[in-house]
Chains A and B, each alone.
Chain A
Amino acid sequence: MKLYLQYFSMLVRCQMQYKFSFWMMVVGHFFMSFSLFFSIFFLFSRFGEVDGFTFPEILLCFAVVSMAFSSAECFARGFDVFPRLIKSGDLDRILLRPRSVIFQVLCSNIEFSRLGRFLQALLILIYAVLTSGFAWSFDKIIALFLMLTGGFVTFSALFILYAAFSFFTIDGLEFMNIFTDGAKEFGRYPFSVYGEGILKFLTFGIPLALFQYYPLLYLTGRSDRIGLIFLPLIGFLFLIPCYAFFRFGLRRYQSVGS
């Protein structure tokens, strides 16, 4: 952990070399995600509700997904740019250091400029919580917390999976973005609005609905099965196959010519 902080301070120092660019990125990301917010806002000002969900409920869902995604992106950014690590040969260097590969990849890149997006998600979450009109009992606070951590872990696992694929393709795979960036986009709405099939896939295939749709049912009072709030924890299990696949890819690693 101490070492992580040292890497962290190193990256801060590196990024601070380019102060102007840094602040522009933070501000840019802050406003960029507002455009998503407005798209929801205008949709609701016309239709009032989507699939039975009200505006604050949708906002809550949007804020949770957005926050989970941006924190995963901040933290696991190294896996997001993993193809670059392979191409530049920096992975060789990582393999030459006596620390775990996953840890070093996490340390290799921390994207502070995504803090703008995180901040914005936080604002919307606070707004949604205040306007939702739910009775914020203890179990609901736990539910919200588990949704956030579960989402964070699931997105991180997806980033690792994405990185693992690039062992085989060298370049990144765009289709994986459907589940990372894409999930952030269409995760604005509860996954049930996309139909039964998609919901099933996002439950049993890529477990995105586990931290979004099901706990939301409990949170909004649509279901009183308290078990639903623990579903996000399954996101942790999702880490295992992703990590195993990454290890498998690492063994097949070919390096690049030098």
Chain B
Amino acid sequence: MKNVTKTFRVAKRSAGFSKAVKALFQKEYTDIHALQDVTFTIKDGEMVGYIGPNGAGKSSTIKILSGVLTPDSGSCLVNGRIPWKDRVAHVKEIGVVFGQRSQLWWDVPVADSFELLRDIYKIDPEQYRKTLARLTELLDLGEIVRTPARQLSLGQRMRCEIAASLLHNPKILFLDEPTIGLDAVSKIAVRDFIKTLNREEKTTVILTTHDMQDIEALTERVLLIGKGRVLLDGTLAELKKRHGTYKILTVDYTGNAFAVPPAADLIENLPGHAVLSVNTVVLSVSQAVSAISSTVEVKDISVTGESIEETVLSLYKEFDI
């Protein structure tokens, strides 16, 4: 994907009835730069997390990569094809799951939907039987496929959605918020499955999510996008490192004088209780602890790292997105 730009023209108006009437005659348009100069390469068999706040351009990227949208400028090559030009050949090799939309026929048992998909994708019956058996086993679909889609729970439906996107053995799987609204058990089931798929079938997986645990559990590489631009492209560890390695020390103590070690910031200071942020590049945790315990009598001390959520949050802040 190279220098891809997509601009949407969006009619804008203030709320209120009179404004709505006015807008009927005179529309104000704003150009929304959904994507500006987005460039990246993803290798075969890679698993990439694509993160960014709402409206950053994640879904637009997925839609361009999957051939649904045509970008205004720039080029994009997936498996040697331009997705929007060679749509039919392209979509045969990709699977797409939109977490918030269903691709199953609402009123019939899931198995019926699968069979129609088999015919749409012209899957060889023998191949289809094998794939379905494997997916049924891995995703524990057994009884579920005989139930109409509308009667499934969200977790069950998501498993079926994923299976439906994989019936034709795609080389690339796009997952747009696959764990949205799922309970803990279903989330873990979905994650485990994606991991297995990537490991055993060497399927390239591109995942957008707001759930940083998805990212932590699944992906090596992370792309951070904001306001239509790629801001960061690296491994999760790099992303963490870039933001510095701060640890939070919470200390309960007796005694009054509290000497703050250099390279540590006092976040909270009450009599007998203090919270410090320590930059571990300068001062290791054990050094900090010994420095503190040399000045006061420590009753209790706890060390916590910054969670990935917090890291990403501070990244969003850093880039002002």
A95 touches which of B67, B98, B121 (Cβ 8 Å): B67
Does residue B106 face the partner (Cβ distance < 8 Å to A)?
A: yes
Interface residues of A in 93-125 (CB under 8 A from B): 93, 95-100
A99 surroundings in chain B (CB, below 8 A): 88, 120
Count B-side interface residues using an 8 Å CB cutoff. Answer: 33
Does residue B8 face the partner (Cβ distance < 8 Å to A)?
A: yes
How distant is the Cα of A17 from the Cα of B105 in the complex, in angstroms?
12
Closest to A88 in B: B101
Q: B57-93 CB contact bits vs A (8 Å, 1 = yes)?
A: 0011001001111100000000000000001110110
How distant is the Cα of A251 from the Cα of B148 in the complex, in angstroms?
35
B69 surroundings in chain A (CB, below 8 A): 253-255
Interface-side segment among A2-10, A136-144, A173-181, A216-224:
A2-10
Does residue B144 face the partner (Cβ distance < 8 Å to A)?
A: no
How distant is the Cα of A137 from the Cα of B312 in the complex, in angstroms?
80
Contact between A10 and B116, CB atoms less than 8 A apart: yes
Does residue A45 face the partner (Cβ distance < 8 Å to B)?
A: no
Contact between A258 and B59, CB atoms less than 8 A apart: yes
Contact between A92 and B68, CB atoms less than 8 A apart: yes
Does residue B318 face the partner (Cβ distance < 8 Å to A)?
A: no
Does residue A133 face the partner (Cβ distance < 8 Å to B)?
A: no
How distant is the Cα of A183 from the Cα of B148 in the complex, in angstroms?
40
Closest to A15 in B: B107
How distant is the Cα of A7 from the Cα of B117 in the complex, in angstroms?
10
Does residue B39 face the partner (Cβ distance < 8 Å to A)?
A: no
How distant is the Cα of A159 from the Cα of B301 in the complex, in angstroms?
72
Contact between B107 and A13, CB atoms less than 8 A apart: yes
Which A residues fall within an 8 A CB radius of B? 2-3, 6-7, 10, 13-14, 17, 89-90, 92-93, 95-100, 251, 253-255, 257-258
**Top 9 A-B pairs, shortest CB-CB distance:** A14-B107, A17-B107, A98-B92, A95-B68, A258-B59, A98-B88, A98-B91, A92-B68, A13-B108
Give 19 new A-B contacts, CB below 8 A, not counting A17-B148, A98-B89, A100-B88. Answer: A2-B119, A6-B116, A10-B105, A13-B107, A14-B106, A92-B98, A93-B101, A95-B67, A96-B68, A96-B91, A96-B96, A98-B122, A99-B120, A251-B70, A254-B8, A255-B68, A257-B59, A258-B59, A258-B98
